[in-house]
Structure 1
Amino acid sequence: MSEDMNQVEATIFQVGVKVKGKVIKVEEKHVLVSVENSKLDGIIPISELSSLHVEKAEDVVSDLDELELEVIKVEEEALILSKRKIDAEKAWDDLEKKFESGEIFEAEIKDVVKGGLVVDLGVRGFVPASLVEDHFVEDFSDYKGKTLTFKIVELDKEKNRLILSHRAVVEEEKIRQKQSLLESLQPGQVLEGTIQRITDFGAFVDIGGIDGLVHISQLSHQHVEKPSDVVEEGQKVNVKVLSVDRDKDRISLSIKETLPGPWTNISEKAPKGSILEGTVKRLISYGAFVEVFPGVEGLVHISQISHKHIGTPHEVLKEGQTVQVKVLDVNEEQQRLSLSIKELQEREQAAPADYELPEESKGFQLGEVIGDKLKNLKN
């Protein structure tokens, strides 16, 4: 009678039939289940538990788990079942929808293999090394067990091929952040950034997913010959937004405008009456400009260059010359400094001419001598 019943059930539960089962025992290499509406035992070989390689059955299922299964073989004493086939069938339908819509989803990295990463989505998903990040990664060993976001970039059910990309998600997010940042940026904002690249004409600064250019003229209040003289890659800097061109994705930044200007507190550094050393920077018709601090030039008017009368400053000064100057007046608000060179020079006194009186005039008043001379001239 029992054999007859088994034969009947073997006829009902043909290969491909879907059944429900409850886990009653987990062995190392297979799982025993009780099959709903059947007196036959159900056996799930470890190879049919998952689309991925499984070392131990207990890594996939536990006692009393209720599973949807497919019959892959009918034996007299048992049904050989597959969890993998049901999972894959459900997975492909879901994955096709995700692929068509471009949906982003999360998945755990199950394994690290040569050439990339493996995830379990009901079917085996592969992430090539080049599609993991938007930068080079030398060692992927730390990725196992991590949960990352993915997009499907290639799907072929017939070939059981599923290619995923985390890099695509990262790049799309950066584009969204860039657009959002561009929309929010306004001239005058001060932000923190990182020097990304240095060129001959300036430095590119990352201000949160987008680069802006600090032109060489905006690196410092002082004259800069080479940007690398004042900044270096990786350096954290504060920058002020000068302009934003959203159509061309161009941002002009300034480091100089976040720094104290050379004229800040100039009244304290160069008070009226103080004596400073400076360098003649420019000679003009009405005077000379002398740099007394980096970026701070004061005017020595031509009248303050020398006690002697001079036609042009070039007569006594030359560019690059070091001179001592006295501060005559300082105006921090208007950034003006009046200087004098002659105030520090001694006035050359003209020596009085010696006048030797004639021998015969000694003892007489000078007026008398002059009077006599005049008389002689009349005669």
Structure 2
Amino acid sequence: MSENNAANENAQTMADALKEVETVHIGDTVKGEVLAVEDKQLIVGIEGTGVEGVVPLKELSTQPIDDIRSVANVGDEIDLVVISTIGKDKENGQYLLSKKRLEAQKVWVEIKAKADAGETITAPVTSVVKGGLVVNAGVRGFVPASMVADHFVEDLSQYKGQELEFKIVEVEPNDNRLILSHRAIVEANKKEARAEIFAKIQPGDVVDGKVARLTNFGAFVDLGGVDGLVHVSEIAFDHVDKPSDVLKVGQDVKVKVLAVDPERDRISLSIKATLPQPWDNIDTEAPAGAVLTGTVRRLTSFGAFVEVLPGVEGLVHISQISHEHIATPNDVLKEGQSVDVKVLSVDPDQHRLALSIKALQERPEGVEEDRPSQNRNNNRGGDRPRRNNRREEHTAIPAEYQQDDSGFSMGDLLGDALKGFGTDDKD
């Protein structure tokens, strides 16, 4: 064979070989053999091309990788996608490849299919950003702050690291856009739990709950998927200014069901109804003759109601406020004022406590003590005492107080004003 023929044959063989080598384009899916494993990248040979490519560590997986050698070794074959070229030498140049983006393409397809089927996904929250949460669903997903929970959450950092269930709100693979909602899951779960709870809960039931939220007017308690309201007046027997003064979010509490309204999705609860009743030990806590310090809670035309124990109010009749004459209790007392009182009488069954302020005060000089009319037999010379032309002054009780919820009777409210009435002397 002549030299020319041999040269022509070699040239033909080279041309045939070049025809068999596939051309690599950006976006192509290729198979690569791991030729070398470095700290931050893999060197791979692209099958059927005779060229090499580089896979950076960050392009190896959609999940964080601490050690590159834990996911790839020399000789491994992996599917990759071409994302760009490196250098200007197209024949001997290298390509930038990604395994993560190939996985992401598959993830987008799966997520789109789940969205179309109305299915949910579960993914961990990786970070908190302005306006919401970032989650790793195989691809980057975003949860707007308004879609995190069924109520306003001031601090979203509590969700970082949590794995949550999400409803797929919007999915756009071409724009790498995935919008998720955890609120939709919470609302769906609560709706199911609400139906179950409303079917079995009854007024009078005592159940366990957890403080979910605090407001100025009360505390919302989670009963296992449904929140009930404990109004601030139902937290304790003593006065509570703000629920946050005595309760904390997450605190376990025992509550009594006061009312259930399924149509309005409302459950009224009470914490104080589960506590010992304040009048149970009143005989020992506030016996007759005891001196106590209390707070003026209400002022009326006929006296002052003073709270001497949490949930226990007693009446200081106007005649028991001062040794001197006063027109109204407002002349000397104010609501919220702290006063010392003496217990005159106690009736646990009727929840009545008669109190006196003046009993602890020294009677001013020249002020006579109130006494009932004297009997004629005690008068010198047997003279009949002169009847006063006007009746003894007494305090009128407004109609709205004649059956006061304190349990005091008309006689209790009139107090000393009844002394001497109907005791006319006889000859």
TM-score > 0.5, shorter chain as reference: yes
TM-score by length of structure 1 reads 0.58
How large is the Cα RMSD of the aligned pairs?
5.6
Determine which of 179, 197, 201 is the counterpart of 2:215.
Answer: 197
In the TM superposition, what are the counterparts of 1:308-319 in structure 2 within 5 Å? none
2:273 partner amino acid: E
Determine which of 378, 390, 395 is the counterpart of 1:351.
Answer: 378
- Cα distance, 1:317–1:277 mapped onto 2, change above 3 Å: farther
d(CA) in 1 for partners of 2:300, 2:156: 60
Q: What is the aligned partner in structure 1 of residue 123 from structure 2?
A: 107
**How many residue pairs were aligned?**
321
- Cα distance, 1:206–1:115 mapped onto 2, change above 3 Å: closer
1:7 to 2:18 alignment: yes
Q: What is the aligned partner in structure 2 of residue 186 from structure 1?
A: 202
1:205 partner amino acid: F
Q: What is the aligned partner in structure 1 of residue 415 from structure 2?
A: none
**Secondary structure of the structure 2 residue equivalent to 1:152:** strand
1:250 to 2:266 alignment: yes
Q: Rg: which structure is higher?
A: 1
Mapped contact 2:221–2:229 kept (Cα < 8 A)? no
1:32 to 2:43 alignment: yes
What percentage of residue pairs aligned between the two structures are identical?
A: 30
State the 1:94 CA deviation: 0.3
d(CA) in 2 for partners of 1:41, 1:92: 30
Mapped contact 1:23–1:34 kept (Cα < 8 A)? yes
1:196 partner amino acid: L
1:90 to 2:106 alignment: yes
2:261 partner amino acid: D
Mapped contact 2:24–2:49 kept (Cα < 8 A)? no
State the 1:158 CA deviation: 3.6
- Cα distance, 1:7–1:55 mapped onto 2, change above 3 Å: farther
1:235 to 2:247 alignment: yes
**Secondary structure of the structure 2 residue equivalent to 1:198:** coil
Question: CA deviation digits over 1:139-193, x for unaligned, max 9?
Answer: 86994x7655433221123434333344544555555555555455433214455
State the 1:264 CA deviation: 0.5
- Cα distance, 1:317–1:97 mapped onto 2, change above 3 Å: same
Which 5+ residue runs of structure 1 have no aligned equivalent? 306-315, 356-379
1:127 to 2:142 alignment: yes
Q: What is the aligned partner in structure 1 of residue 418 from structure 2?
A: none
d(CA) in 1 for partners of 2:141, 2:283: 69
Mapped contact 1:30–1:43 kept (Cα < 8 A)? no
**Secondary structure of the structure 2 residue equivalent to 1:247:** helix
- Cα distance, 1:42–1:146 mapped onto 2, change above 3 Å: farther
Question: CA deviation digits over 1:277-310, x for unaligned, max 9?
Answer: 79999999xxx99989553669x9xxxx9xxxxx
d(CA) in 1 for partners of 2:271, 2:103: 58
State the 1:319 CA deviation: 8.4
- Cα distance, 1:118–1:58 mapped onto 2, change above 3 Å: farther
- Cα distance, 1:102–1:266 mapped onto 2, change above 3 Å: same
State the 1:107 CA deviation: 3.1
Determine which of 204, 208, 213 is the counterpart of 2:229.
Answer: 213
2:289 partner amino acid: I
Q: What is the aligned partner in structure 1 of residue 6 from structure 2?
A: none
d(CA) in 2 for partners of 1:216, 1:54: 49
1:46 partner amino acid: P
Mapped contact 1:151–1:166 kept (Cα < 8 A)? yes
State the 1:220 CA deviation: 5.3
Determine which of 344, 347, 350 is the counterpart of 1:335.
Answer: 350
d(CA) in 1 for partners of 2:104, 2:158: 27
- Cα distance, 1:141–1:263 mapped onto 2, change above 3 Å: closer
1:33 partner amino acid: V
